[in-house]
Structure 1
Amino acid sequence: MAKNTTKNTEGQAPKGVRKPPATRKTAAQKKAEAEAKLKQQQLETGEGDNTPTDTPEQPNNEPTGETAEKEVTAGASESSAGQEGKTTETDKIKSDANPPVGNSTIEDLSDDEFDKGKRDGVSDDVEDQELMEGQMKLEDDGSTKIGDNPMLTDTKDKEEVQPFVRKTKIEKTSSNVSIKSLFKEWKKDQALRAKYRQEAEEAIKSGLPAPEFEDETTLRFDLAIQRNETWTDYQKSDLIHTVLYGYYLQPVLVEDSNDGKKWFIDGKQRLTTLMTFIEGQWALSKKTKPVYGYKIAGFKFNDLPSEMQDEIMDETITLVRIKNMTVAERDEMFVKQNSGTPLSKIELIRAMHSELSEQIDIELSSLKFFKEDLELTKKAKDKFIDVELILQIAMLIEEGKDRIKGLGADNYKEYVLRLKETEQIFSDEMIEKISNISNYLTLAFEDYEMDEVKKALKKVNVPIIFWTAITAMDDNLQPKLFGDFIRSFLISGYSVESAYGKSSQAGSSKKENVLIRLDEMSAALSQFIDMIRNASSIEEGVEQFNKHLADVNGVDREEGEDGERESA
């Protein structure tokens, strides 16, 4: 017969046999069992065995409740007083089996109190009682409170973390618009602009001032933060290829200002590319790839098959309308949207302070000196070279030689941010000062030839010329004489080996090089003015200065008469 190896202890179900669930006991049953257990332990222990011999024998082995209570109390007193001596085994058993609760024992507890855990020293009615670590308190609603870990008390006084709440009021909605419908709005806008130009020309011919143009156009790409046209012919052509092929077009962002206009925050390059192509203003690059075997390189819109024209016109673009934006939120959104294709430094700076950018565009970039006299190419204008020069000039005028840190992009970025943080734009005095100097310089360079303008009015020279012109104006030097001085200093008598010439090369925007150029041109102007005043004629004074400058810089004047800068 096989030996049964299954271990089965009393009260434990064999393995594989589910033990039946215990029947839940009532509070009264629990209390009765505890009392019976206590009495049984007292009987089994034999109280008289551990008592002194001179103690009278009790009538029976079961102590009365009063005696048990006294013994328990006595045992507790002996323990708390720290008295030496061995506690009787009976005392230990009584103390363990019938712990005091406040001034009561188990017998004094009601059934409800017993069931709530007071037998374990838990209180639910003493509000100010501190709970030990892990000790539970039963609340009236049935929930439990567990005592804190004293080792973690430093976390109690920490500030409560507030839940995240989005505070912006920005709202966004989107809709799909066909290129055909956008082109209709574009054509209406073009008609309005053409009408204004015609009215302005007729007024000028009649000797009247041109009427003010109230821009009622719908598609608005003229937010100050917007970039000028920067796409190459290939980039524009690739967009047309994208539409014809059926690739996805990214949404464009529009600021909803409740005026019926579409103020584009992002998407100007894409939309103007599409509109001008449909209008026939440019042809696709010769590098444009075929579409499903059809060659389109070099084609204008009207050269495409009618099916392709329809595909372009029927294509839809998602317009995301955004409203309730502050100017600061709009500017930051523009920067974020263009983070994939990095903005140039000046474009980023313009976007940081759109109000200042708008002021520069309207009040300063439109001055004749910046608009015409500098002879900036379209590419240079698209890169906002005029804005960059204006910021350098304003910074130099405001900070002066003593505080200027340089004329680099980081320097005028810091300058613009300082204006932004203090919620400032250029003061009226600054606008007036730059305007007056610009008008003075327009007269000074009026007789310059194109090659002279390109040599004298280089980007590195313009802020220095503005600074020096302030001294010339204060000394009442005639604009044309100042033009003669610049011609001598930067053209006929110029040398790259001079102190000014060396400071105009690599690192020209650094503070030390800026200061050298300021000092060199200012000192030369003082010499020029002295020679003019001491000469018998203006012509003689100009000639003396030219000779002096050529000698100082080692320039061969006979070889340099054509304006070439040569060193001896």
Structure 2
Amino acid sequence: MKSADKSLWLLDGKQRINRLVSFIQNGWKLTKCVVYGVDITGMEFLELPEEFRELIEMQYINAYQFENLTVDQRDQLFKRLNSGVPLSPIEIIRSVLGTDILDYINNLLETAFMKKVEFTEKQKEGFKDQELILQMISVITGRSYEVGGKSLLSLALDLRVNGLTDGEKSLIESVFNFLSAAYEEVEDKVVKKSLKKADVVRITGASVEATDRPEVFGHIISSYIASQPSGSLYKATTSNKSASASSVKKGIEILQGILVVDKQSA
């Protein structure tokens, strides 16, 4: 983990790494050990058969670097690692993104629209707010409408290597400004019903090519989502497989269709 003073903290695995390095440097001998039917008991690294040494030297050690963690998040991560709890997809994704993109994501979380999206403290500790921003970026830029863990990891790798183009940044800023204006006057009770995590992804997609004034868009879309019963066609896109490309696209199409119908009836 990279800290504010630019130091790197090794949260887990230090003893195993040191032990492996010291063995390769002939620092100790193996105790009773039979591998692939070959007895290598009492051998140092350089005494191993050549093919065994090559196998060891060819191995990779996966290392995840986390940035922008609070002290509490660092301690929680250390506790989880030492209790055998695997890293969540978003934790792995964050380790890939790097400081610049994480800072960019955190800046977007400070926009007026995102401040209206409710996250519990537990969700924030699990980086669900940052995950949502990544999903929104994926949809806004057209990188992918598949917004599950594997797709977001691919996006994170691409962002780490290539970043966002100036055109993409301009579009993202435009969408967030539009959504902030769209929800500025929406009643709190309607906001609460219409800005669930899956809804936000679909609202974002519908806003990219919206031609309505922001306040009109916000009123129509929020009222529609807030009034949808659990068994409606739209709600079905936000429940099972809500991160799949087909569900995201279908939800966006439904919202876009509502905007068209409202124009025709006006």
Report what 1:505 is aligned to. Answer: 239
Q: Number of matched residues?
A: 203
Letter in 1 for 2:252: L
Report what 2:117 is aligned to. Answer: 374
> Is 2:145–2:248's contact at 8 Å kept on the other side of the alignment?
no
> Does residue 448 of the first structure (1) align with residue 186 of the second (2)?
yes
CA displacement at 1:449 relative to structure 2: 3.1
Change over 3 Å in CA distance of 1:414–1:356 after alignment to 2: farther
- Give deviations 1:481-515, integer Å, cap 9, x for gaps: 111111332013x2332221222212111222122
CA displacement at 1:396 relative to structure 2: 1.5
**Which residues in structure 2 correspond to 1:80-479 (within 5 Å)?**
224=67, 226=69, 229=72, 268-269=74-75, 338=81, 340-370=84-114, 372-399=115-142, 404=144, 406-420=146-160, 423-472=161-210, 475=211, 477-479=212-214
Change over 3 Å in CA distance of 1:362–1:513 after alignment to 2: closer
What value does the CA root-mean-square deviation take over the aligned residues?
A: 2.9
Q: Secondary structure at the match of 1:348?
A: helix
Letter in 1 for 2:97: H
CA distance in 1, matches of 2:71, 2:255: 34
> Is 1:508–1:514's contact at 8 Å kept on the other side of the alignment?
yes
Report what 1:529 is aligned to. Answer: 263
> Is 1:468–1:518's contact at 8 Å kept on the other side of the alignment?
yes
CA distance in 2, matches of 1:228, 1:381: 14
**Whose radius of gyration is greater, 1 or 2?**
1
- Give deviations 1:375-411, integer Å, cap 9, x for gaps: 32333222222211111111112236xxx35211121
CA distance in 2, matches of 1:228, 1:525: 45
> Is 1:369–1:442's contact at 8 Å kept on the other side of the alignment?
yes
> Is 1:350–1:357's contact at 8 Å kept on the other side of the alignment?
no
Change over 3 Å in CA distance of 1:406–1:446 after alignment to 2: same
Higher percent of residues as strand: 1
> Is 2:186–2:219's contact at 8 Å kept on the other side of the alignment?
no
CA distance in 1, matches of 2:199, 2:100: 24
- Give deviations 1:238-276, integer Å, cap 9, x for gaps: xxxxxxxxxxxxxxxxxxxxxxxxxxxxxx428xxxxxx
**Which residues in structure 2 correspond to 1:534-545 (within 5 Å)?**
none
CA displacement at 1:452 relative to structure 2: 1.6
Please list every run of at least 4 consecutive aligned residues from structure 1 whose deviation after the TM superposition is greater than 6 angstroms: none
> Is 1:503–1:516's contact at 8 Å kept on the other side of the alignment?
yes
Change over 3 Å in CA distance of 1:364–1:382 after alignment to 2: same
CA distance in 2, matches of 1:485, 1:363: 27
CA displacement at 1:441 relative to structure 2: 1.5
User: TM-score, normalized by length of structure 1?
Assistant: 0.33
> Is 1:460–1:504's contact at 8 Å kept on the other side of the alignment?
yes
Change over 3 Å in CA distance of 1:411–1:517 after alignment to 2: same
CA distance in 1, matches of 2:183, 2:123: 20
Change over 3 Å in CA distance of 1:529–1:384 after alignment to 2: farther
Q: Secondary structure at the match of 1:395?
A: helix
Change over 3 Å in CA distance of 1:508–1:228 after alignment to 2: farther
> Is 1:228–1:383's contact at 8 Å kept on the other side of the alignment?
no
Change over 3 Å in CA distance of 1:353–1:512 after alignment to 2: same
Report what 2:221 is aligned to. Answer: 486
CA distance in 1, matches of 2:90, 2:181: 29
- Give deviations 1:59-112, integer Å, cap 9, x for gaps: xxxxxxxxxxxxxxxxxxxxxxxxxxxxxxxxxxxxxxxxxxxxxxxxxxxxxx
CA distance in 2, matches of 1:409, 1:440: 27
Q: Larger relative contact order (C-alpha < 8 A, sep ≥ 6)?
A: 2
CA distance in 2, matches of 1:510, 1:484: 27
CA displacement at 1:464 relative to structure 2: 1.1
> Is 1:394–1:434's contact at 8 Å kept on the other side of the alignment?
yes
Change over 3 Å in CA distance of 1:381–1:528 after alignment to 2: same
CA displacement at 1:437 relative to structure 2: 1.6
5+ residue gaps, structure 2, are 1-53, 59-65
5+ residue gaps, structure 1, are 1-160, 166-222, 231-267, 271-333, 533-568
CA distance in 1, matches of 2:71, 2:257: 39
Letter in 2 for 1:359: D
CA displacement at 1:466 relative to structure 2: 1.1
> Is 2:190–2:223's contact at 8 Å kept on the other side of the alignment?
no
Higher percent of residues as helix: 2
> Is 2:191–2:222's contact at 8 Å kept on the other side of the alignment?
no
